[in-house]
Amino acid sequence: MSTLPSDVHLNVGALIFPEMDQADFTGPFEALSRIPNSTFYTIWKDLAPVPDMRDMRIVPDTTIADAPQLDILLVPGGYGQEALMQDEEVLSFIRRQAASARYVYSVCTGALLCGAAGLLHGKRATTHWTAMQTLPLFGAIACDERVVVDGNMISAGGVTSGIDGSLVLVAILRGDTVAQELQLYMAYDPQPPFNAGHPEKAPPDVLSTVSGRAQQITEARLKTARAYKAKWDRPG
């Protein structure tokens, strides 16, 4: 993949929303907000502080109505994603931006919002492991990988995957050296104290507890995804 000329300015924007998982957004922000010759926008319906799932409040820079055309649209996830799955203002924003953006980048269950906006048909994609089974219902080819690039759709898996994906995206846009510079600045040389970050690696009791806690939202997401599939499958 060839990178862009460095004199091409990039508008990078993130949809932020109530009950997002802040790390889906803040992890990528760390790298994407430092792309040379770029401007970053946090975007929501209005300019009031947006509380994440654990009530960290982030102030949007601009609104869905006022946001410029973006080159990169970042769509994070979190439990609040589910409340937006029928929100035409949000879905049409994603759709409209995606039509002219260079890349749409979903992190975690942000992929489900992209799915509801119709962006995943025939695309390889990933999401949080609890929601992986919803992807085919949006017409996607589910890939249990940490970062998936398919044309102009880039997706990262659960939460912290967004850091890896953002470095992949920076490398695509500005080259490997720029991505490595950001990695070194961020001291991203991870050493997790445990090896429990993937369902196949976690102890069974840990997997069972975490799956159980997510059961309600997982079922709601599946129901919504099935309704999308049924709507799209309906003849005429």
What does the binding site for its own copies look like in residue numbers (CB under 8 A)?
21-23, 26-27, 29-30, 33-34, 40, 42, 49, 54-59, 61, 108, 128-129, 146-147, 157-161, 163-164, 167-168, 171, 176-177, 179-181, 183-194, 196-199, 201-203, 205-207, 209-210, 213-214
What is the nearest approach in angstroms of its own copies to the Cβ of residue 3?
14
Active site residue 114: no
- Give the separation between CA 169 and CA 10, rounded to whole angstroms: 13
What is the nearest approach in angstroms of its own copies to the Cβ of residue 121?
25
The b/e string for 204-226 (b: 16+ C-beta within 10 A; e otherwise) is eeebeeeeeebeebbeebeebbe
Which CB, 62 or 87, lies closer to its own copies? 62
Residue 53: which residues within 8 A CB-CB, separation 6 or more? 19, 20, 21, 22, 78, 79, 80
Which CB, 98 or 111, lies closer to its own copies? 111
What is the nearest approach in angstroms of its own copies to the Cβ of residue 18?
14
β-partners of residue 125 are 142
Annotated active-site residue in 12, 23, 108, 170: 108
The b/e string for 56-94 (b: 16+ C-beta within 10 A; e otherwise) is eebebbeebeebeebbbbbbbbbbbbbebbeeeebbebb
Which CB, 185 or 232, lies closer to its own copies? 185
What is the nearest approach in angstroms of its own copies to the Cβ of residue 26?
4
Q: Which amino acid is at 39?
A: T
Which CB, 123 or 128, lies closer to its own copies? 128
Mind telling me the catalytic residues? 108
